[in-house]
Amino acid sequence: MNELDEAWSQMLAGAIENAREAGRGDVADFLALKRSNDELRQSAVDWLFNSFIEIASEANRRNSLVVIEREEPHEFQFNNAKMAGSLVRVRFGVRAILIEAGWTRLPSHGFMRGGALAAARISHFGIPRATDELILVRDDETPAWNSVNGSRFDSQSLFEHFRLLLQN
């Protein structure tokens, strides 16, 4: 968690406590839900990035000359909203994959459509048809990444994207 996220978490905890002390249980419940959703979002984004970095690192150990870069903070457009989050770039020669993930944080960012908690995009440099857009949704109370085309996105999907990066 970066310093800004840590500061936000502390401010949110203070606001929840202040709302409860002021007898505003409704506001405290809303802020507690916001904090819970933010924790789910961050965990899901971390899984996405850490899993892909692990796949790339394993290839690097086999001398694949894979370069991994991370950019934080990062903003990107997703539909008509601005997502605030992070970017991981994995390069192999002239090929590259960009993984962007985040969620709307400010009212000016717009809002998440379709009940999404977070959004992500996996883009292949030079292969636009391979781009995959993802949304994080609650599936039976468990968060899950789904492709916007409706299919489930899991670790096997990450392997497929990485395999495409390494193809000749």
For residue 15, give the nearest of 28, 29, 30, 25 by alpha carbon: 28
State percent of the chain over pLDDT 70.
90
pLDDT given at position 137: 93
- What pTM, to 2 d.p., does this model score? 0.83
> What span, in angstroms and rounded, lies between the C-alpha atoms of 62 and 45?
26
Within 10 A of 33 (CB to CB), how many other CB atoms are there? 10
The edge-to-edge listing of strands for the beta sheet with 95-103 is: 66-78, 81-92, 95-103, 118-124, 132-139, 142-147
The structure tokens listed for 46 are 């971390």
| pLDDT tens digit sequence for 71-125 | 999 999 999 999 999 999 999 989 999 999 999 988 899 988 888 999 999 999 9
> What span, in angstroms and rounded, lies between the C-alpha atoms of 159 and 164?
9
Q: Is the pLDDT confidence value at 32 over 80?
A: no
The Cβ-side half-sphere exposure at 87, using a 13 Å CA radius, reads 15
Domain residue ranges in the chain:
43-166
For residue 54, give the nearest of 46, 22, 30 by alpha carbon: 46
